[in-house]
């Protein structure tokens, strides 16, 4: 083993993911080193609180509270940015790339906010940026899109990209519990972001959708340009209504590209999926992503989307690619070169206007239970040419109120937004309506 080249790794962030990476490298060191043909030295890890007790033990001399010192240390070949956030994480990433080092990141928020700058810095200085762990946890989805499916264009990519939300929705459906009661479990299990509102309000899914849209279409779409809705307003009652209609509820990212017009649409919202749909059956922390390629057809990826071990698996796969690159193996060099540059040339994508984003809808309203209310609701919808497909009415607290659940025939986002504005002006509508999309995906 002594003749093997040695590569030195610094880990910025020793929380859920950082400790997972350390633990699994230590556990599988012999196998990994044999596979990669190099010695791996875990040199140091940066944390915020040096005194915190951590399940994975490392020598105190290897811990620092200065991640930038790791990023700028010329002895560190590979820097893993596993802190999260977009401030210090950006500084660390750019500092390491600027000295030509390899950076491995699980930080989708950072890539979404500063991906262009990060890739440009990597290209300028000959550094490399790897990010398999940033989307869909342990599923090698980035590799699948960039390498396995490189021959394809992608008219449709959709799926569950947030393990925390899928865990919460599954528990709500199975235990009839409100989402706030389940969120604590997702945090304890190490699935949630440090700021869990990123998960439940849909932003984490939007960050991942932005990364996938970039890989698939070569253009950055910011969350502000997407429809982004979370799971925070879904109640156990919505699962019962959805089940009565034959659906389950999943938080989905949906990325569509119309190659005849160039229009691209990236959206994130809770979606009613037919109970028989394979993605509707994916439960707990698992993610499921359906990728429609114009050459390969549809491929589907299912696996753990969050948590220590699944995410560490993705980071270590990047580490192995990074080491192969450093050893200057020609095949790996080509692979890694692709990773630092956009997967596809930047195309002139246009974002689809709301009237081109078509679908069917589920609308839940709390209304006063009195004569003529249904007629007022129907009139508000008819004024926007939104046609009602079904109505379920049930009694609701407080006394004198009723819950109305309507589904629509095909309509579009512009018409539904205008309908919601009309409904908000009606005195008989007692609460902000909940609008969910119905997913009409064939596979
Ligand atoms: P975490 O458990 O909160 O760990 C973050 C680590 O970074 C902690 O060790 C923290 O130090 C350290 N840190 C934070 N700010 C710091 C600062 N200013 N200076 C020095 N150290 C700092 O987070 P995580 O769940 O491991 O997630 C890390 C990254 O992976 C995030 O970008 C997240 O989005 C991404 N990710 C997470 C998962 C998952 O399932 N958890 C999956 C995929 C991707 P202390 O320990 O001292 O607080
Ligand atoms: N909080 C994220 C999730 C971590 O639950 O999916 C994985 O990216």
- pLDDT for 7 equals 97
Tens-digit pLDDT profile for residues 270-283: 999 999 999 999 99
Residues 6+ apart with CB under 8 A from 51: none
Place of tokens 């607290």: 397
Distance CA 212, CA 229 (A): 18
CB 106 within 8 A of CB 311: yes
CB 139 within 8 A of CB 287: yes
Residue ending a domain, among 259, 282, 304, is 304
Q: What is the SS3 assignment for 197?
A: helix
Let me know whether 58 and 199 are in one domain: no
Distance CA 359, CA 118 (A): 36
Does residue 46 lie within any of the structural domains?
Answer: yes
Distance CA 436, CA 320 (A): 42
Q: Among this protein's residues, is 281 annotated catalytic?
A: no
Residues 6+ apart with CB under 8 A from 432: 424
CB 100 within 8 A of CB 129: no
Let me know whether 237 and 376 are in one domain: no
Does residue 345 lie within any of the structural domains?
Answer: no
Let me know whether 291 and 328 are in one domain: no
- pLDDT for 334 equals 39
Mutate to test the pocket of ligand 2, among 20, 204, 209, 253 (most ligand atoms within 8 A of CB): 204
How many domains does one find in the chain?
3
Does residue 352 lie within any of the structural domains?
Answer: no
Given a cut of 50, the residues of the chain with pLDDT beneath it are 1, 330-341
In the reported structure, the alpha carbon of residue 133 is separated from the centroid of ligand 1 by a whole-number distance in angstroms of 13
Ligand 2: nearest atom to the Cα of 311: 7
Let me know whether 427 and 393 are in one domain: yes
Let me know whether 153 and 12 are in one domain: no
Question: Residue 69 is part of a domain; what is its CATH number?
Answer: 3.40.50.720
Does residue 350 lie within any of the structural domains?
Answer: no
Distance CA 138, CA 130 (A): 14
297-304 and 286-293 beta bridge pairing: antiparallel
Let me know whether 150 and 277 are in one domain: yes
Residue 181 corresponds to which tokens in the numbers above?
A: 């009661």
Let me know whether 298 and 315 are in one domain: no
Let me know whether 223 and 202 are in one domain: yes
- pLDDT for 177 equals 85
Let me know whether 291 and 319 are in one domain: no
Residue 17 sits in which domain range?
A: 6-137+308-335
Let me know whether 322 and 366 are in one domain: no
Tens-digit pLDDT profile for residues 307-344: 999 999 999 999 999 999 998 753 444 344 444 445 55
Does residue 346 lie within any of the structural domains?
Answer: no
Distance CA 187, CA 212 (A): 25
Does residue 409 lie within any of the structural domains?
Answer: yes
286-293 and 156-160 beta bridge pairing: antiparallel
- H-helix or E-strand spanning residue 111: helix 108-125
Does residue 42 lie within any of the structural domains?
Answer: yes
Does residue 347 lie within any of the structural domains?
Answer: no
Ligand 1: nearest atom to the Cα of 307: 40
Question: Residue 385 is part of a domain; what is its CATH number?
Answer: 3.30.70.260
Question: Residue 291 is part of a domain; what is its CATH number?
Answer: 3.30.360.10
Place of tokens 């043909």: 37
Let me know whether 166 and 86 are in one domain: no
> How many Cα atoms within 13 Å fall on the side-chain side of residue 145?
30
Ligand lying nearest the CA atom of residue 307: 1
Query: How many of the other CB atoms lie within 10 Å of CB of 155?
Result: 14
Let me know whether 324 and 367 are in one domain: no
CB 172 within 8 A of CB 183: no
Residue ending a domain, among 304, 326, 349, is 304
- pLDDT for 347 equals 53
In the reported structure, the alpha carbon of residue 127 is separated from the centroid of ligand 1 by a whole-number distance in angstroms of 23
Sequential DSSP letters for 367-431: EE-STTHHHHHHHHHHTTTPPEEEEEEEEETTTTEEEEEEEESSEEHHHHHHHHHHHHT-TTB-S
């Amino acid at each position: 083993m002594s003749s093997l080249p040695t590569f030195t790794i610094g880990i910025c962030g020793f929380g859920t993911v950082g400790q997972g990476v350390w633990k699994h490298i230590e556990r599988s060191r012999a196998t990994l080193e044999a596979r990669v043909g190099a010695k791996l030295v875990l040199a140091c890890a940066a944390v915020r609180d040096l005194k915190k007790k951590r399940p994975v033990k490392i020598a105190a001399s290897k811990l620092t509270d200065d991640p930038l010192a790791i990023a700028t240390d010329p002895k560190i070949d590979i820097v893993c940015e596993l802190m999260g956030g977009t401030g210090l994480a950006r500084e660390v990433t750019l500092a390491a790339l600027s000295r030509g080092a390899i950076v491995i990141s699980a930080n989708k928020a950072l890539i979404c906010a500063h991906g262009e700058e990060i890739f440009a810095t990597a290209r300028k200085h000959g550094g490399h940026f790897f990010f398999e762990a940033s989307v869909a946890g342990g599923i090698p989805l980035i590799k699948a899109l960039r390498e396995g499916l490189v021959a394809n264009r992608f008219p449709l990519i959709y799926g569950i990209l947030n393990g925390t939300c899928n865990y919460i929705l599954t528990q709500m459906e199975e235990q009839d519990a409100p989402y706030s009661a389940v969120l604590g479990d997702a945090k304890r299990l190490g699935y949630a972001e440090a700021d869990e509102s990123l998960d439940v309000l849909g932003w984490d899914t939007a960050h991942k959708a932005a990364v996938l849209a970039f890989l698939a279409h070569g253009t950055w779409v910011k969350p502000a340009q997407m429809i982004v809705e979370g799971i925070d307003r879904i109640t156990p009652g919505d699962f019962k209504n959805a089940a009565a209609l034959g659906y389950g509820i999943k938080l989905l990212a949906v990325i569509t590209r119309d190659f005849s017009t160039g229009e691209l649409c990236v959206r994130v919202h809770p979606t009613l999926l037919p109970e028989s749909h394979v993605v509707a059956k994916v439960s707990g922390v698992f993610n499921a992503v359906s990728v429609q390629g114009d050459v390969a057809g549809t491929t589907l990826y299912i696996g753990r989307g969050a948590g220590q071990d699944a995410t560490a698996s993705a980071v270590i796969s990047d580490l192995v690619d990074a080491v192969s690159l450093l050893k200057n193996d020609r095949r790996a060099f080509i692979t890694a070169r692709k990773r630092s540059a956009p997967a596809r040339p930047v195309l002139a994508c246009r974002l689809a206007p709301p009237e081109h984003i078509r679908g069917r809808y589920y609308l839940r309203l709390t209304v006063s239970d009195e004569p003529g209310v249904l007629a007022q609701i129907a009139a508000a919808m008819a004024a926007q040419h939104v046609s009602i497909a079904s109505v379920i009415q049930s009694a609701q607290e407080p006394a004198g109120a009723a819950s109305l659940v309507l589904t629509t025939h095909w309509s579009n986002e512009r018409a539904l937004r205008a309908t919601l504005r009309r409904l908000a002006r009606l005195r008989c509508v007692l609460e902000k309506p909940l609008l969910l999309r119905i997913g009409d995906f064939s596979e």
